[in-house]
Chain A
Amino acid sequence: MAKEYTVGGSSFLDNLGKIYAIYTGGFFGFVILLAVLEQMGVPNKFIGYGFVFLTLAVYAVIGILSRTSEVGEYYVAGRTVPSFYNGMATGADWMSGASFVGMAGTLFLLGYDGLAFVLGWTGGYVLVAILIAPFLRKFGAYTVPDFFSERFGGNFARMLAVIVLICCSFTYVTAQIFATGIIASRFLDMDFTVAVYVGLLGILLCSMLGGMKAVTWTQVAQYIVLIVAYLMPVVILSAKKYGIPIPQLTYGQAIQEITNLENQMAAKGLIATSKDAAGNLVAAKPHIKPFTTYDPLNYFALILCLMVDALLHHPLGA
């Protein structure tokens, strides 16, 4: 039988570093090419299309190459993914619409209170690691409901897990699809509804044929693109404004400037720091002041909820 080249096969796993290094190099070359085209005056619309469709094509190719009909591979990628790459795939899960669009906006709008999301989801990851991770994989179950039914016996536990899972996933997926629609409709200049379908089609292409195996390997590719996309704007901003390209260090100075600007605006009577009697927002709230939107009880309850949410999502690889 002729040796077929499949993603996840032994020759693939042995050459992982090389394959993804070539991919990363190709990605940077592609970005430079688009920059050159932009300088030459190619309209933004075409650059937008080029960017989205080319990366999507790469993911779709990976998705098709990963096609499989083995149950083990469809559900858990055959458990052969090396841990470093699995980590990349998990990271890509969370660097998605919810974070890129949703959390960025929330943090901008709510300031300190938005950090509940950051604390909740990161802390939740720690919870997953200590409570579930060591056991789920050894257990050999394919899905969390399976695990529950084996561990606690019977179908009642399983049903409970399924119900909670669907509720969590449903809201999460809705937010993701909405973000996809917004991004696609702006970037590609399409009507929102059309953009949602285009986004869904892209997702299908990447995941339907190969299941978890396809998803994992496309996520690794996406991780590289995403981490560059996340870091680049803040690094450039930090370098331009403060001369140090490490945003984590200059973050503090930016906070100080925001606070100063707020104080100036308050002195001129442009912002207020409280709500009126009916509980409506009077005007903008100080960025760093805690508990301006949520009172402490709600804030910490939100953190707890988000942690449980992470607990349920991560084992899914979702």
Chain B
Amino acid sequence: MQNGTPDRYWSRTSALMWTMFALWVFFSFVVHFFVNQLNSIVILGFPLGFYMAAQGSLIVFVVMLFLFAKRQDAIDREEGVAEDR
């Protein structure tokens, strides 16, 4: 049973998806294009470029996942397509 229209649900979901996608492209690829430059910055013994690949991007991914799930769930509930529990 839907409260909102299918179009609105879809446009909200798409918008969220594209935002997440852009972030994903940035932290998966763009950041790592500059790994050699970033490596000259050292934090806690970590060259930043290496850190981004080994931990940094991953932490961002996990945070993104939590935020995305929360946001998508909110959209689902507002548009009335959430799962019944």
Contacts and interface: CB of A to CB of B under 8 A. Distances in A.
Interface residues of A, number: 28
Nearest to B64: A126
B65 A125 contact: yes
A238 to B, nearest CB: 13
Nearest to B43: A252
A73 to B, nearest CB: 18
A125 B61 contact: yes
A303 B30 CA distance: 12
Given A123-B24, A248-B55, A288 B50 contact: yes
A249 interface: yes
A169 to B, nearest CB: 24
A123 B61 contact: yes
Interface string A280-293: 00000000101000
Contacts of A137: 83
A118 B53 contact: yes
A96 interface: no
Contacts of B47: 255, 288
A251 B24 contact: no
A102 to B, nearest CB: 17
Q: B interface, how many residues as a size bin?
A: 35 or more
B24 A134 contact: no
B32 to A, nearest CB: 7
A134 B61 contact: no
B20 A130 contact: yes
A252 B46 CA distance: 4
A251 B64 contact: no
Nearest to A107: B54
B68 A112 contact: no
Given A134-B13, A138-B81, A252-B45, A118 B32 contact: no
Contacts of B83: 137-138
Contact of B61 (A122, A252, A255): A122
Contact of B44 (A119, A134, A249, A288): A249
Contact of B46 (A123, A127, A255): A255
A129 B68 CA distance: 8
Contact of A119 (B16, B28, B65): B28
A131 interface: yes
A126 B54 contact: no
A251 B24 CA distance: 25
A115 interface: yes
Contact of A123 (B36, B39, B57): B57
A134 B73 CA distance: 9
Interface string B9-35: 000010011001100100111001101
13 contacts: A118-B53, A118-B58, A119-B58, A123-B24, A123-B61, A251-B46, A251-B55, A253-B45, A255-B45, A255-B47, A288-B50, A290-B35, A290-B36
Interface of A: 112, 115, 118-119, 122-123, 125-127, 129-131, 134, 137-138, 248-249, 251-253, 255-256, 288, 290, 296, 300, 303, 307
Given A119-B28, A134-B13, 19 more contacts: A112-B50, A118-B58, A123-B27, A125-B61, A126-B20, A126-B68, A129-B69, A130-B17, A130-B20, A130-B24, A251-B54, A252-B43, A252-B44, A253-B45, A255-B46, A255-B47, A256-B45, A290-B35, A290-B50
